[in-house]
Amino acid sequence: MRGSPSKLTQFWQELVRRKVIYFLIGYIAGCFAIIEFFTNTSERFTIPDSIIDLLYILAAIGLPGVIILPWYINRKKPITTNDLGAVQSNSKLDKSIIVLPFENISPDPDQEYFSDGLTEEIITDLSHIEDLLVISRSSAMTFKGTKTNIKEIAEKVNVRYVLEGSVRKAANNLRITAQLIDANNDAHIWAEKYSGTLDDIFYIQEKVSSSIANALKIKLSSVEKDKIHDNQIDNTDVYDIYIKAQQAYHSLTEVGLKQAMHYVNQGLETFHENDKLFALQGMIYVSMIEMGFDRDESIFKKVEECTEKVFSLNPDSADGHYLRGHIRRFHGDVAGSIKYYNRALSIEPNHLQANFFRSFNYGFSGYGGMASDSLSKLLNSDPLNPFSHFIAGAVEVYLGNFDQAHDFMQKAFEMDPNPFFGWWLSKILAYDNRIDEAVKLVDQFSDMADYTHWAKLGVIFKYALEGKEAKVLELYTEELKNILRGDEFYGVWVAESYALIDHKQEALEWLEEAINNQLLNYPFLTKHDRFLKNLYDEEGFKKLMQQVKKGWENFEV
């Protein structure tokens, strides 16, 4: 796919989107076949040459219609990021469901992880059904322990059906109940009880998923059946460790990630080879890097090692392709990373992390329109996850749409008022020339700057906006710079701070590092990033922009 901004390329892409090219090829092939037939049989059936000539004339007359008809019929534009609000307000899909956290009614309250694990596995199984919109785990889990009624829940996430249930686990014995409710009329359209042992858990998961499909009159394809079946971990001991690790991993805190790694290592030491454990291990390493908890060179190597182990056991692993996408991203290959995220999504269309980073990378590179399908899926399937709104806001930032970006990021910050979202929101306010609001927001989380690099970046940027040169230079310690190096996002943010205090050489050096790590968004750097404007006349900046423009115009996935 080519992302060239030229008008000729855009026109060609529109011809393809409206299926004009396909109609044209089909029409020409059909006309050629008919004329060839009459030409070859003209002597046998004494067909005059005038008839052949007439066929050519008719073919030529019909040609404009073949071009105009599909152009008109398919004139409706695809969803863009500006349409995302409308996407969320659409009427409920008839085939849409949320799986509420299964209630733990076990004698031991510590079995909570097991009921949560069952919830997540059923969500994953149902997500393999192409005709069913399934609310993601992160949004579903917001209702854990709440007393919200079924109708209100369905309205909050814009779905029609709700699955709820309970789990009782005592030693090796299981009792699981599940019921499917139509939120439109509060009707129970399917219910079942399952009793057995822990060894039956995989059968129960598969049975629940297929029963829901039957109740909703969805005919599962052989591929969908295989995916639901193959998703299972066929060893109950490995399964138990895996869901414990998953629960800890979802916290995305440093303590939680370390606990998740402990469980994964325990599982690998005991059972040695398991692709899901290796994949989760790789994702934990990725989260440690992304959250800034550990950016040592060795941890990047560990992600690669985990990925190779995943593929040695499962060549068709969606998680494996997702991890490869991240490896390419770490190496500054944005286009290459998107290719692997696309491969992950071709195997598992609802792979949340692949959707997330695919959208982000498209947006950061200045091609936010190409992320519209991923963004729509994120906002529809995970509407209560602040990261869904964060990613939509980030895409709008790098398109220069700061008003829309603010609305999305404000929602993310309201859902989770942490320094990460606060930093982004303050940046958007500043980009939109709302400097006083940006400074006031940074002050809200400045006390976290001692232990959160996101908060520290916010404080440095605030001082840069205020022109406090000494404070900026004091806080940009070598330790912090080492954390921020080798990353396209951090590079441009550091460059902005140095540019604001008129340290142009340092700004250009950090900007060059960002560009070498595939910062390709030429329109943003030359039109929308107001904090780089005092670099515009610098020869070094002009030279860097020539490099960026070439990369942006030739961006390929």
Top pLDDT among 479 and 24 is at 479
The residues that bridge with 176 in the sheet, in sequence order, are: 167, 194
Q: What is the mean pLDDT of the chain?
A: 86
In this prediction, residue 75 carries a pLDDT of: 52
> Looking at the predicted structure, is the pLDDT value of residue 170 above 80?
yes
Q: What percent of the chain has pLDDT over 90?
A: 49
In this prediction, residue 271 carries a pLDDT of: 82
Top pLDDT among 477 and 47 is at 477
In this prediction, residue 231 carries a pLDDT of: 62
In this prediction, residue 44 carries a pLDDT of: 66
Q: Are 202 and 232 in contact (CB under 8 A)?
A: yes
Lowest-pLDDT range of 404-418, 427-441, 443-457, 517-531 = 443-457
In this prediction, residue 530 carries a pLDDT of: 93
Tokens of 489: 């996002």
Q: Are 281 and 287 in contact (CB under 8 A)?
A: no
> Looking at the predicted structure, is the pLDDT value of residue 85 above 60?
no
**End-to-end distance of the chain based on CA atoms, in angstroms?**
5
Tokens of 297: 């060179």
173 — phi, psi (to 5°)?
-95, 140
Element (H, E) at 157: helix 150-157
What are the pLDDT digits (tens) for 210-223? 999 999 888 888 88
Rounded Cα distance, 161 and 178, in Å = 13
In this prediction, residue 516 carries a pLDDT of: 85
Fold of 91-232: Rossmann fold (3.40.50)
The residues that bridge with 190 in the sheet, in sequence order, are: 180
In this prediction, residue 3 carries a pLDDT of: 40
CA distances from 481 to 296, 453, 471, 475, 493 (A): 13, 10, 15, 10, 12
Rounded Cα distance, 119 and 99, in Å = 7
Q: Are 465 and 500 in contact (CB under 8 A)?
A: yes
In this prediction, residue 16 carries a pLDDT of: 60
In this prediction, residue 22 carries a pLDDT of: 65
204-238 core/surface letters (b: 16 or more CB in 10 A; e: else): bbbebbbebbeebebebeeebbebbeebbbeeeeb
Tokens of 105: 């009614």
In this prediction, residue 339 carries a pLDDT of: 94
CA distances from 323 to 142, 228, 410, 466, 506 (A): 27, 22, 30, 40, 33
Collapsed DSSP state (helix, strand, coil) of residue 173: strand
pLDDT band (50, 70, 90) for residue 9: low
CB atoms within 10 A of CB 71: 15
373-403 core/surface letters (b: 16 or more CB in 10 A; e: else): ebbbbbbbbbbbbbbbbbbbbbbbbbbbbbe
In this prediction, residue 73 carries a pLDDT of: 60
CB atoms within 10 A of CB 273: 10
Phi/psi-derived region of residue 217, left when phi > 0, alpha when psi is between -120 and 50, beta in every other case = left
Rounded Cα distance, 197 and 173, in Å = 4
In this prediction, residue 54 carries a pLDDT of: 77
In this prediction, residue 436 carries a pLDDT of: 94
In this prediction, residue 152 carries a pLDDT of: 94
Tokens of 193: 């009880």
What are the pLDDT digits (tens) for 105-163? 988 888 888 999 889 989 988 988 888 999 999 999 999 988 889 999 999 999 999 99
User: Which are the contacts of 208, defined by CB distance < 8 A and separation ≥ 6?
Assistant: 122, 125, 163, 178, 192
CATH homologous superfamily for 235-349? Tetratricopeptide repeat domain (1.25.40.10)
Q: Are 366 and 520 in contact (CB under 8 A)?
A: yes
* One-character DSSP codes across 540-554: HHHHHHHHHHHHHHT
> Looking at the predicted structure, is the pLDDT value of residue 41 above 50?
yes
Rounded Cα distance, 201 and 118, in Å = 9
Rounded Cα distance, 94 and 66, in Å = 35
What are the pLDDT digits (tens) for 297-330? 889 999 999 999 999 999 999 999 999 999 998 8
Rounded Cα distance, 300 and 330, in Å = 8
Rounded Cα distance, 439 and 377, in Å = 34
Top pLDDT among 292 and 169 is at 169
> Looking at the predicted structure, is the pLDDT value of residue 13 above 60?
no
The residues that bridge with 193 in the sheet, in sequence order, are: 177
In this prediction, residue 74 carries a pLDDT of: 59
In this prediction, residue 49 carries a pLDDT of: 73
Rounded to the nearest 10°, the torsion over CA 427, 431, 432, 438 is 30
What are the pLDDT digits (tens) for 172-231? 889 999 999 999 999 999 999 999 888 888 888 888 989 999 998 888 888 888 888 776
Query: What is the pLDDT averaged over residues 465-489?
Result: 88
Query: What is the pLDDT averaged over residues 373-377?
Result: 85
Top pLDDT among 27 and 281 is at 281
In this prediction, residue 270 carries a pLDDT of: 87
> Looking at the predicted structure, is the pLDDT value of residue 510 above 90?
yes
The residues that bridge with 173 in the sheet, in sequence order, are: 170, 197
* One-character DSSP codes across 191-217: EEEEEEEGGGHHHHHHHHHHHHHHHTT
Question: Nearest to residue 325, comparing CAs of 294, 366, 356?
Answer: 356
pLDDT band (50, 70, 90) for residue 18: low
Tokens of 274: 């398991």
47 — phi, psi (to 5°)?
-85, 125
> Looking at the predicted structure, is the pLDDT value of residue 407 above 90?
yes
In this prediction, residue 291 carries a pLDDT of: 77
